[in-house]
Structure 1
Amino acid sequence: MNDNTQTERFIQHAADYFDQLVPVATDDELFAAGYLRGHVDLVVGTLQLTEQPFSTATLIAQVERSLSDAVEKGELTALDELQVRTVWQQLQQSDKTFAA
């Protein structure tokens, strides 16, 4: 599988993952997923605007950077940060294509 296909699959998997949480997640999990989804969507949009190919690894690194910047700016409490990072790890681990 080439990088573009893998990246497109990861982006679609992320959208599906967030959508599947809606009916079953707690309020805290929904907050964390929604917050994270905003960061993922922002990074994907920003990378797409460059009109250059990018990899799943680049996407993940940019989301990590975006989350770290948000924490440094005080956007999240320590508990919120933990919940967001937990959802982020679960998302990455749930993607069989990326984990393989």
Structure 2
Amino acid sequence: QGAEHVLASYRHMLAHQPEHDVRYYWDTHMCASFMVDALGLRQIDDIGIDKVMWSSDYPHNESTYGYSERSLAAVVDAVGPEDAVRVVSGNIRKFLGIEK
């Protein structure tokens, strides 16, 4: 929704108009990632389970190092075990083209 608003605001300034609407580009080229995000986990139905990826960002200070298990447990609690597998590993494998 925000991207659609921004595009509408700046469309008159673009030398080239996008061929598709903003949602098309999100659906075909983008995903959301998170480490710890209780609010984001509650919005997965709006974002789309196939568009969300968990990350640890190790070894950076803001990573989940030391509490990755709790972070992963929150994912399982929020979406269930099958969808958690998609969020934690399946979606990134698909995005990178390295599915089994």
* TM-score, reference length from structure 1: 0.30
More strand by proportion, 1 or 2? 2
For CA contacts below 8 A with separation 6 or more, give which structure has more relative contact order. Answer: 1
Larger Rg: 2
More helix by share: 1
